[in-house]
Structures are given as C-alpha cells and as structure tokens.
A and B are shown apart, each in its own frame.
Chain A
Amino acid sequence: MAADNTIKLHYDVPNDDFTRAGEASSDLKGKLKQMGISPDAIRKVSIALYEGEINMVIHANGGYIDAEISENGLKLVLCDTGPGINDIVQATQAGFSTALEQTRMLGFGAGMGLPNMLQNTDDMIIDSIVGVGTTITMFIKM
C-alpha cells in the first residue's frame, strides 16, 4: 500500500503494438480527473505521457511506466531496455528523428516526441545508456 495521500500506478507498455500505444496515458488521464487534479495539469500529463508511450513503442521494444501522484504533483518514470539515446541534446531538438521510414508512413516519427515532453513538464531527467536502455523521469507540478 502506498503512503498516505499518494498513489502509485503501474503500466506495462507492450512492444510494437501501435493500437495499444496510448492506453496508459488514457487510463491515467481518466483517474486524474476522478482525483480532481486540475485540468491544466491533466493536459500536460496526457500530452507528455502519450509522447513518451509512443516513443517506447517506436524505438524501445516497450517497457513500463510508473506514476506517483500526490497533491503537490506527479512523477512519471518511463523505463525501457531499448537501444538508448546516442546524443540526448540532438534528440531533444524539434524535428530530429531516428524513426524508420515504415514508422513515419504511419504518421509517427516527426521528431517532436522529446521536445513535446520537455515542453509539457516542469522538470525532466533523461537517463540513457546506449545498448542498455533509457529511463525518463518527468515531474509535473499541480
């Protein structure tokens, strides 16, 4: 059981299943509304988390998401064992993408994932080792 006045939610992100990508952000969004989190914070969470979720599916063979929510804010940990990010500075620039042509054909891989996540979070830590995986921790204040 989580500590008082906080809630922890866990989501598994399946590998390579575009139809299911977005389920975690959608589920979390519904629960945040039930908890009475402000619409503005919900907007940021749903955009940032959806981008992160899609990234995990496109680039990193899936992974998991841990969300921790208290009245002060949200902490979202997105963890994968994918290829890792070679150049983090480059990856956070708008328009940069390593997505395959096939993925772009589906309308993904426009290079806005990480920039959008940065824009919609109050703090974001990217922890990545090439060949090992990536963990992104996002903080969104209430």
Chain B
Amino acid sequence: MENFYHSIYLDKELCKGCLNCIKRCPTQAIRVRNGKAVINNKFCIDCGECIRICPHYAKLAKRDTLEILDKFEYTVALPAPSLYTQFNNIKDINLILNALLGLGFDDVFEVSAAAELVSEATIKYIAEHKEQWPIISSACPSIVRLVRVRFPNLIEHLLPIKAPIEIAAEIALKKVTEKTGLPRNKIGLIFITPCPAKVTYSKEPLGIEKSEIDGVLAIKDIYPLLLEALKDTVKEYEDSPMPELSESGKIGIGWSVSGGEANGIVSDNYLAADGISNVIKVLENLEDERFSGLNFIELNACAGGCVGGVLTVENPYIAQTKNKRLKKYLPVKVSSFNNRATTVYSEDVDFDWNKEIVYEPVFRIGNNVIEGINNLNSVEKIVESFPGLDCGSCGAPTCRALAEDIVRGEASDTACIYIFKEYFNFLTLQLSTLTHNMSDASDAGNSIANLEQSLTSFFNKDAAPPEKEEKEEKKEKK
C-alpha cells in the first residue's frame, strides 16, 4: 500500500473527545480513544468534513505560509477559480490577479485557463472511449481517493487526464523557464487552494508520479492580506490601464461550482453531484449500473463544488451567485486564442495520467476470503448483542463499526456502555449475594470464588481470558 499521506491532522490539545467528527466522517475513519479523536490513515480521504464539523477547531489542514515565497527566486501564483468568488463587488478578475502580484508573487497563472484545456481534452476522451462510459471526473482528489478504497469496479471509469491544477503548473513552468532561464529548483509554483484535498494531491497525487506544485496556500489564510492588496492595486491603476493577466472564459471560471466541469464538455448526458454523502449514493448506484445513457459524471466532495471547500471564506451559495456575475460578460472560452500564454506553452504538455490507480481494499476484515467470511459472522453476532442505538459513546460511529473494531482486535465489547452496565449489574448482584451469605460460612467461600471469577473475566476482557485458572477454581469448588 502506498500514497496514504494526509493533509488533515488533529490538534490533541484542542480535541475534547466529543462525537461530532466520528458521526460526520463519510468513510468512518475516526474513533475516539482515550478521550481523543484518532484518524485511521487508510480510511481517510481528506474530504475535510471533520474540519467543517469540529466545534473545538481541533481538526486542521497542513499547508504552507506566505514565507514559502522566500525559498524561491521566482514564484508563480496558481489561483483556483474559487478564489475569484470570495470578494464583494469585484467585476474584473484582472484586479485579483494583479493584487496577487502585490502579495509578492513574481507571476500568476490561472488554474481556470488550464481548466479550459482540460475540458477540451475531456470532450475528446469521452468521444473516443465509449466503452468506458460513463466517464467519472477525476479533478476532485477526495473522489479519486474514495473510489480507490471503496469502488473497485469504478476505477476504470475515472477520467485519466491530469487535473487543471497540474496542467496549470506544467504550463506555468514552461513559461517561466523560457522567460527567466532559471533552473527548476529556483522556481516556486504555488497553488492557492480552497480545500485540504488538493494539499494532499500536491504531496502524493494519484494517477501521476509526482506533482509540479511546490507549495500550497489556503484561500482563507491569504484572504485578509489580499483584501489590503486589492485596495493598493485599485490605487496603483487609478490613472493607468491595469495589465490584463486573465486568460479565462466562462468555462474555466465555471469549474469552481458544481456542474461547471460538466458544462465544459457540452453534453446533455451528464450528471453532476456535490456533497460527499450525495456523491457516495451516486457511486453506489453507478456500481449497480442503474444509470444508462450517461457519458459523464461530475463529482465534487464539497457541497456547491470547490467554492464549498473548507479553506474558503465565503458561503458557497453566495459564491455561486458571484461566480455567475463574474462570468456574465466573459467569452465562453479564452485559453485557446492563439497568442495566449496558455495556448503557446501548452503545446507539448502531456495531459494523460501516467500511473495506474490500484484498488486498496482497506475496509477488508480478513486476510483472505475464508477469514473474511468467519470474521463477518463474528461481526454479525456481536452486532446482535448491541442495543443498535448508534450512540457513539464507545467512540465508534455505529454499533456495527464497534463490532468490526472488536473483530479487528482494536476494541473490547465493554466499550459499549450498555454492555458495561449489564456487567456492572451482574457484579453488583453477586456482591449482594456475598454480603447476604457472609453469615453462613460454608456458602461464603463459593460466593467469593464466583465473584472473583466474574471480576477476573471482566477486567481481563481486553486480554485473553484466563480460562485454565477458572477451570481449576471450579474443580476446587467441587
């Protein structure tokens, strides 16, 4: 197994061990153990739902700070189109791009410009690969990771084309290398992200060997600085025309909202779903081949699309409205205009994935089928003994999840407070029998032995029960 790097992590100090995240996690990757949340690295897909729900801000996302600009001689900002939807009253994207230069970047190249090229490549791929229909979009890294661990039969449907952020990085690199002549390690390609999943992507991408992204800044981190820079930019160009840096049209800008990518492929036979629980339902149905006649499936882990990412600032639905306003006077697409940098430097960029995605059966409960069958039998039996309330008090999201943990050897059934209560009542009863029998010396010996046996088996539940000793005790009694 490889590529289980995660950008999401826990701040133990801040975690209060509440049950919000374990209930919200779509892959049941979180348990509360010893009063703190624990994330299972193999189950986690970096969707960010736990960050969204945590009331104590204990779930965090790794990312870089602006200081990363000092590490390079020449830096390029690669803004996600969702950045454009975070501001009020901005009608011209060029203003935002010039303000990014004001933050200290040497150059800027839009991910949305690359997205238009990815849309074109997608149209071509869909037309040439009917046997693979419906093609599932692979731009959202969380979706690709979800499919990899949970939907083995859908891996072959994933669009094997690099995501816009990668194409943007590769085009920007070509442009900068030609312009400055600097070696690769002096050039910093910095992506501005709406979500932690793309941080994960930049470190350990799926579908390609290595990403060209050198650093990732969160929209919410640079937002206050950018507000200041925007004011300065407006002042700077009061008397002179602002440089036109944007090379995006409606299609490119549209990628930041759910349905935008599908819009770019100009087809009626598509489905676009957003929000991780909705996405899972669609994938389940796709697996049963319930939809026919579709050629493209766009899936976004965040509700509303990328504008719903946990590292953004604006309400995703307001952001969608702003996205519509921004697009209003733009041409359908710009990137393929001949003299644009996007067109000039994209000529020999390879759009295809170059690494196979392999099914990682992380949810298995046995090393082989026989073990799996027997373990599942045990799970079913344990589940029956539980109250079925899915209360989460044991630290697992559902009774079934606890049963699976027990079979995997990661928990004990006394983690269930209802089972614990039963044991407790049983012990109390034995204790009261003992007290009652104290007056009769001959019965007292038996009661003490019984109580001792119960206590031993109760407290040794985690370890193997001392069966031999118990048998010896029974013999003694006889």
B460 contacts partner chain A, Cβ-Cβ < 8 Å: no
A5 contacts partner chain B, Cβ-Cβ < 8 Å: yes
* A42 near B365: Cβ-Cβ < 8 Å: no
* A42 near B153: Cβ-Cβ < 8 Å: yes
Q: What are 19 A-B pairs with beta-carbon distances under 8 A?
A: A1-B377, A2-B377, A5-B374, A7-B377, A22-B288, A25-B288, A29-B284, A33-B361, A33-B364, A34-B364, A34-B404, A35-B373, A36-B361, A36-B369, A39-B153, A39-B359, A47-B288, A47-B289, A71-B373
B477 contacts partner chain A, Cβ-Cβ < 8 Å: no
Please give, as numbers and ranges, the residues of chain B lying within 8 Å of A9 by CB-CB distance: 380
B376 contacts partner chain A, Cβ-Cβ < 8 Å: yes
Please give, as numbers and ranges, the residues of chain A lying within 8 Å of B465 by CB-CB distance: none
Give the top 10 A-B pairs by smallest Cβ distance, nearest first: A35-B372, A39-B152, A36-B372, A50-B288, A71-B369, A43-B153, A46-B288, A36-B364, A7-B373, A34-B365
Residues of B at the A interface (CB closer than 8 Å) are 150, 152-153, 284, 287-290, 359, 361, 363-377, 380-381, 404
Q: Give Cα A69 to B290, complex, Å.
A: 24
Main secondary structure on B side of the interface with A: helix
* A31 near B284: Cβ-Cβ < 8 Å: no
Closest to B287 in A: A46
Residues of A at the B interface (CB closer than 8 Å) are 1-2, 4-7, 9, 22, 25-26, 29, 31, 33-37, 39-40, 42-43, 46-47, 50, 69-71, 142
* Cβ contact of B287, chosen from A4, A6, A29, A69, cutoff 8 A: A29
Please give, as numbers and ranges, the residues of chain B lying within 8 Å of A142 by CB-CB distance: 369
A20 to chain B, nearest CB (A): 14
Please give, as numbers and ranges, the residues of chain A lying within 8 Å of B366 by CB-CB distance: 35-36
* Cβ contact of B370, chosen from A2, A5, A29, A43, cutoff 8 A: A5
| Given A1-B381, A43-B287, A50-B290: A35 touches B153 (CB 8 Å cut-off) | no
Please give, as numbers and ranges, the residues of chain A lying within 8 Å of B371 by CB-CB distance: 36
Further contacts, 15 of them, CB under 8 A, given A7-B376, A33-B361, A36-B371:
A5-B374, A7-B380, A25-B288, A26-B288, A31-B376, A33-B364, A34-B372, A35-B364, A35-B365, A35-B375, A36-B364, A36-B366, A70-B373, A71-B369, A142-B369
Pick the most buried of A31, A35, A46, A70: most chain B CB atoms within 10 A of its CB: A35
Please give, as numbers and ranges, the residues of chain A lying within 8 Å of B152 by CB-CB distance: 33, 39, 42
Please give, as numbers and ranges, the residues of chain B lying within 8 Å of A34 by CB-CB distance: 363-365, 372, 376, 404
Q: Give Cα A39 to B97, complex, Å.
A: 47
| Given A7-B380, A43-B153, A50-B288: A36 touches B368 (CB 8 Å cut-off) | yes
A46 to chain B, nearest CB (A): 5
Please give, as numbers and ranges, the residues of chain B lying within 8 Å of A71 by CB-CB distance: 369-370, 373
B152 to chain A, nearest CB (A): 4
Q: Give Cα A93 to B366, complex, Å.
A: 40
Pick the most buried of B289, B370, B377, B380: most chain A CB atoms within 10 A of its CB: B377
Please give, as numbers and ranges, the residues of chain B lying within 8 Å of A69 by CB-CB distance: 373
* A26 near B284: Cβ-Cβ < 8 Å: yes
Please give, as numbers and ranges, the residues of chain A lying within 8 Å of B375 by CB-CB distance: 35
A74 to chain B, nearest CB (A): 11
* B377 near A33: Cβ-Cβ < 8 Å: no
Closest to B359 in A: A39
A121 to chain B, nearest CB (A): 15
Please give, as numbers and ranges, the residues of chain B lying within 8 Å of A33 by CB-CB distance: 150, 152, 361, 363-364
Q: Give Cα A34 to B361, complex, Å.
A: 8
